[in-house]
Amino acid sequence: MSKWRLKFSKLGMGKYISHLDLLRTFTRSIHRAEIPVRYSQGFNPHQLITFSLPLALGVTSETEFVDIDFEDTVSPDEILTRLNKNLPPDIKILKVSQPIFKAHDIVSAKYIIDIIAPRVILKEKIESFFEQENISATKKTKKGEKEINLRDFIKEVKVVSLEGNAFRLDALLSAGGEANIKPDIVVAKLQEYLNSSEFESVDIHRVEIFFENDKKIESFC
Amino acid sequence: MNVYERKFEQVLKKVQKPARYIGNEFNSVHKENFEKFVKFAFCFPDVYEVGMSHLGMKILYHMMNERIDTVCERVFAPWVDMEEELRKADIPLLSLESHMPVSSFDIVGFTLQYEMSYSNILNMLDLANIPLKSKDRGENMPFVCAGGPCAYNGEPLADIVDFFILGEGEEVNNEIIDAFKEWKESGENRISYLERISRIEGVYVPSFYDVKYKDDGTIESVKPNRTGVPEKIKKRIVKELDNGYILDKMIVPFMDIVHDRITLEIFRGCIRGCRFCQAGYLYRPVREHSTDKLIETAQKLIDNTGYEEMSLSSLSTSDFTCLQELVDRLLEITVDKRINLSLPSLRVDNFSMELMEKVQTVKKSGLTFAPEAGTQRLRDVINKNVLEEDLLRTAGIAFGGGYNRIKLYFMIGLPTETMEDVEGIADLAEKVIDVFYQIPKEIRKGRSVTVTVSTSSFVPKPFTPFQWEPQNRIEDLVAKQKFLKERIKTRSISYNWHQSHVSFLEAVFAKGDRRLGNVLVEAQRLGCRFDGWDEHFDYEKWLDAFKKCGVDPEFYAYRKIDHSETLPWDHIDIGVSKQFLVKEHDKAYEEKTTPSCREKCSGCGATSFGGGVCFE
């Protein structure tokens, strides 16, 4: 068994590292760390690296997962320490373990969304947005744009009023191959619904990823 | 976290490629307690992915940061979308590492790689809330300096820049930092710092020199306006490269940049002396790294970056004395690690082809050659020692070896050029095509061949034998491009050319004097920026700026200058004598070539530095 699942965080300005750039960052960090890694066969061999659930640009996270095929000779502890020494500061490996569950079974992800609005907004008003039957939105897909009912992608939301104009959303959103939604669409639609001028700040942070196992929802690891 | 950081972070959501602005890349240097250091902002007046590809910046960045008393941070020109957001949110230009305002640095240094980046310099100063003109900067403002190839004639920026650094920066940058610390301790005023550093060789403080003009607009004299400053300012070089600062790490960007690879500098200068090439004169004498040092450095760069590609860097790779040995030894340390080695700027010969075969383990893409001129006569004029038979033979070897795409670079508008020479470009390209079809079908790859012909427009540059030459008028260049396009009959040849308006402005600012300073200020005000980018270059705005300032750009680009005239850059000494350039200029008209430094010394004057190829 040489495939390892690395749990990592992507914080700070690291949220602006795109998915493709992140892949390149891992490739080069592995080179620097001199951890023997397996390459794909074929004309243009590349390291075997697969991210479980790509993270939207501009979102921080404390639970990202990447599967990497290392050669048998390295221990998980070694992978963790050597890679952390060679990753840029905003990306940190938290745990290395054997992959048990499949990324394919991921169904949802939990986000904390901190918003500062230009004025005080009542909690009830925000909640009423999420109570709508239908929230029509446009989703960008590979094939172009698609009209969707955003409500179908929002599994759970808790609204918390904070000090001043700030409020927080604890949101569980659809994620994975079946149905996936970027959290910023929810924020944009909410802003539109509230008839608010541009939010002063929006910070989105992914805290957990869930998958379906025997019809039960469990935390992905 | 400073006051702007939070706002800055939010703004990044709205722009393309936010990774341009985040910093924190592997090997970038982030120092705590910003205030206690001498703070140097290294500014590259173009977008991140262009600036990050520049070797000089990498060298000076790491060198300065290795000093325990100095922090050097990078600053790039924000792309137009980012500029708009910064201005809207009232955020000044910030450094990449600690996101500190550029105006809070002690020294703000720009690298001048090409003339068309000048508007970006002014725009960056404006974004940083630093007054554009040197004389308007107060006691607590940073010093603005500039270095790099265009600094040798930095006169158009003389009113903007507080001081120039001429030549290689490894030694002199350290000296100006040392001087800064002493000056800071002395408590003296701003001008006293400039006086202190004007005594350092390689530092040019333009405000310490007065320029007088004649009635016809030419220069009467350039003289120091105070005692203690040199009449002539001599460039600096690192005499022994192996003993100088060795760059053994590089920042590894997150995003794709123009040259996203290890750059291994093998030597500086060029032995060839092509008469149009400014770099060939500016960087004399040729100085090499030893192969042992290069291998040691290459190994460290591989370990410290994790890059999958390494490229050798110099003006002419083939002229490295131990190239075969170097390549063999580099392959030993790169192949197992799946690192591709690339050898740019090879000369047209068999040896180069063998080397190419050796290193090209993966895919055979296109090959690029630069004959520069279409006829042997004109190649002799410009001293580009490439023979047609060499080119054709090499093309034959390439086609036989599986290549089927060749790029050929030429210049149009060279001194003495006739339509025959222009036609020669098309003829040469056709001969290359013929070579392909002479090769048996079984050997060559693919059924057809593509030759791409690119022409740029000749820009006369200071410190070259052609510095006195007028540039072709835009309409003449366009006519030559059209003529060449019509001469190219086969569809196997595709033809690209450069915009002549850009080349015209390049000539104006390359050979310009201090009177262009106001034009730059006006152009910035009119919104000129990113002039090197086709989509942002606005020729009309530039013409408008010249008109408003009462400056005729044609005076600088189109005038044939007499050898006896005082040039705006005559008080700068690059080590190559004016007398030598005059001789080379005359020889060009006699269609006589000059041997390379290794064949025979032609007495250019660079021996005065006491090192390099002159003493091999």
The whole-number pLDDT of residue B7 equals 93
Residues of chain B with Cβ-Cβ distance to A12 below 8 Å are 24
Q: Do B306 and A21 touch (CB under 8 A)?
A: no
**Where in chain A is CATH 3.30.70.580?**
3-100
Chain A positions touching B18 (Cβ under 8 A) are 16, 57-58
Examine residue B465 and state whether it is found in any structural domain, yes or no: no
Residues B202, B284, single domain; the answer is no
Same domain, B116 and B158: yes
DSSP code string of B304-336:
HH--SEEEEESS-GGG-TTHHHHHHHHHHHHGG
Same domain, yes or no, for B44 and B119?
A: yes
- Dump pLDDT digits (tens) for B480-498: 999 999 999 898 999 999 8
Interval B272-294: pLDDT, tens: 999 999 999 999 999 999 999 99
Q: How far is CA B281 from CA B149, B271, B581, B599, B603, in A?
A: 11, 9, 10, 17, 13
Q: Does B29 touch chain A (CB under 8 A)?
A: no
Answer yes or no: is pLDDT of A153 > 80: yes
Whole-number Cα distances in Å, B79 to B15, B35, B84, B121, B507 = 9, 28, 9, 13, 25
B216 and B247 in a single domain? The answer is: no
**In this model, does residue B91 exceed pLDDT 80?**
yes
Segment B117-143 mean pLDDT: 98
Q: B308 in contact with A at a CB cutoff of 8 Å?
A: yes
CATH code for position B159: 3.40.50
CB B220 within 8 A of CB B561: no
Strands B572-573 and B233-234: parallel
Q: Name the H helices within chain A.
A: 19-33, 76-86, 123-130, 183-193
Chain A: give the shortest CA distance to residue B304, in Å. 6
Binned at pLDDT 50, 70 and 90, residue B367 comes out as: confident
Mean pLDDT of chain B: 95
Identify the weakest region by mean pLDDT among A139-143, A155-159, B524-528. Answer: A139-143
Task: Write the CATH number for B311.
Answer: 3.30.750.210
- Residues B138 and B256 placed together within one structural domain of the fold: no
Cα separations (Å) of A6 from A58, A96, A104, A221, B332? 21, 5, 17, 9, 33
Q: Is residue B503 part of a domain?
A: no
Residues B74/B111, Cβ–Cβ less than 8 Å: no
Residue B151 · residue B112 · CB < 8 Å: yes
In a domain, B478, yes or no: no
| Chain B hits for A34, Cβ within 8 Å | 303
Comparing A41 with A220, the larger pLDDT belongs to: A220
From the list B6, B254, B362, which residue is nearest A21 (CB)? Answer: B254
Q: Which two tokens stand for residue B612?
A: 């390099």
Residue with more model confidence, B420 or A39? B420
- B177-224 pLDDT, tens digit per residue, is 999 999 999 999 999 999 999 999 999 999 999 999 999 999 999 999
Which residues in chain B have their CB less than 8 angstroms from residue A16's CB? 12, 18-19, 21-22
B158 and B17 assigned to the same domain: yes
Phi first, then psi, for residue B412 (nearest 5°) are: -115, 155
pLDDT reported for residue A13 = 95
> Which residue numbers of A have CB closer than 8 Å to B's CBs?
12-14, 16-18, 21-22, 24-25, 27-32, 34, 39, 44-45, 57-58, 86-90, 200-202
CB contact under 8 A, B24 and A21: no
Q: Is there a single domain that holds both residue B137 and residue B198?
A: yes
Q: Give yes or no for residue A8 having a pLDDT over 60.
A: yes
Tell me which chain A residues have a C-beta less than 8 angstroms from the C-beta of B6.
201
Q: Do A57 and B18 touch (CB under 8 A)?
A: yes
Question: What does the pLDDT average to over B361-371?
Answer: 72
Distance of alpha carbon B264 from alpha carbon B533, whole angstroms? 28
Cβ-defined contact of B26 to A16 (cutoff 8 Å)? no
Residue A144 has pLDDT above 90, yes or no: no
Which chain A residue has the Cα nearest residue B14?
A: A58
Give contacts of B 228-267 with A, CB under 8 A: 252, 254-256
Reported pTM: 0.95
As a whole number, mean pLDDT of residues B146-170 equals: 98
Give first-to-last CA distance, chain B, whole Å. 54
pLDDT confidence band for A214 (50 / 70 / 90): confident
pLDDT value at position B404? Answer: 85
From residue A93, how far is each of A81, A155, B58, B361, B595 by CA, in Å? Answer: 8, 29, 28, 34, 59
β-bridge mates for residue B74, sequence order: B42
A21–B255 C-beta distance less than 8 A:
yes
Helix axes B118-127, B80-89, angle to 10 degrees: 20
Domain count, chain B: 2
Q: What angle do CA B537, B543, B544 make, to 5 degrees?
A: 105
Q: Residue A190 in contact with residue A134, Cβ under 8 Å?
A: no
Report the length, in residues, of chain A. Answer: 221
| Whether residue B247 sits in one domain with residue B223 | no
Domain assignment present for residue B169? The answer is yes
How many Å apart are CA B99 and CA B12, to the nearest integer? 13
Nearest Cα residue in chain B from A17: B19
Is B199 within a domain?
A: yes
> Which residue range(s) make up the domain with B303?
240-359
- Looking at domain A3-100, its CATH class is alpha beta
The contacts of residue A24 (CB under 8 Å, 6+ apart) are B254, B256
For residue A85, the Cα-to-chain-centroid distance in whole angstroms is 23
Q: Which two tokens stand for residue B579?
A: 């007398």
pLDDT score for A45? 79
Q: Residue B194 has what DSSP assignment?
A: H
Q: pLDDT tens digits, residue range A104-119? A: 999 999 999 999 999 9
**Using a CB-CB distance cutoff of 8 angstroms, which residues of chain A are in contact with residue B306?**
27-32, 86
Q: What is the pLDDT of residues B540-558, one digit of tens each?
A: 999 999 999 999 999 999 9
Q: Choose one of B336, B359, B382: the last residue of a domain.
A: B359
| Percentage, residues of chain A above pLDDT 90 | 81
In A, which residues are within 8 Å of B9 by CB distance?
Answer: 13
The answer to whether A13 contacts B254, with C-beta atoms less than 8 Å apart, is no
Residues B224, B268: one domain? no
Do B250 and B323 share a structural domain?
yes
- What digits encode the pLDDT tens for the residues B315-351? 999 999 999 999 999 999 998 888 999 888 777 776 7
Asked whether residue B63 falls in the same domain as residue B156, the answer is yes
Last residue of a domain, one of B234, B266, B287: B234
Distance CA B47, CA B21 (A): 10
Nearest CA-CA partner of B50 in B114, B130, B122, B123: B114
**Each residue's pLDDT tens digit, B293-318:** 999 999 999 999 999 999 999 999 99
Residue of B nearest to A90 (CA): B24
Segment B238-280, tens digit of pLDDT: 999 999 999 999 999 999 999 999 999 999 999 999 999 999 9
Enumerate the CATH 3.30.70.3190 domain ranges in chain A, comma separated: 104-219
Pairing between β-strand B367-372 and β-strand B340-342 as defined by DSSP bridges = unpaired
Q: How far is B6 from chain A (nearest CA, A)?
A: 9
Contact B308 A31 (CB under 8 A): yes
Q: Do A201 and B12 touch (CB under 8 A)?
A: no
**Between chains, do A27 and B307 touch, taking CB under 8 Å as contact?**
no
Phi, psi of B2 (to 5 degrees): -90, 175
State the pLDDT at residue A196.
86
Domain A104-219: CATH class, spelled out: alpha beta
Sign for the pseudo-dihedral over CA of A2, A8, A13, A16: positive
**E strands along A117-200, which residues?**
136-141, 144-149, 154-161, 166-174
- Write down which residue in B168, B202, B234 finishes a domain: B234
Using CB atoms, pick whichever of B6, B252, B254 lies closest to residue A17.
Answer: B254
Separation of alpha carbons A146 and A139, rounded Å: 5
**pLDDT band for position A72 (50/70/90)?**
confident
Identify whether residues B103 and B161 lie together within a single domain.
Answer: yes
In this prediction, residue B363 carries a pLDDT of 53
- Alpha carbons B468 and B611: distance in angstroms, whole number: 29
Best residue of A18, A19, A31, A200 to probe chain B, by most B CBs closer than 10 Å:
A31
A25/B338 touch (CB, cutoff 8 Å), yes or no: no
- Other CB atoms within a 10 A radius of the CB of residue B377 amount to 15
Q: Tell me, what's the pLDDT at B345?
A: 77
pLDDT given at position B365: 60
Residue B139 clears pLDDT 60, i.e. is over it: yes
User: Which run of H or of E encompasses B76?
Assistant: strand B70-76
Residue A74 or residue B85, greater confidence: B85
Across the interface, do B254 and A88 touch by the CB < 8 Å criterion? Answer: yes
Residue B364: predicted pLDDT: 60
- A47, pLDDT greater than 90: no
Residue B475 lies in a domain: no
Distance to chain B for A60, nearest Cα, Å? 12
User: CA-based angle B476:B481:B486, to the nearest 5?
Assistant: 125
- Chain B: residue nearest A14 by CA? B22
**What is the percent of chain B with per-residue pLDDT over 70, rounded to a whole number?**
99
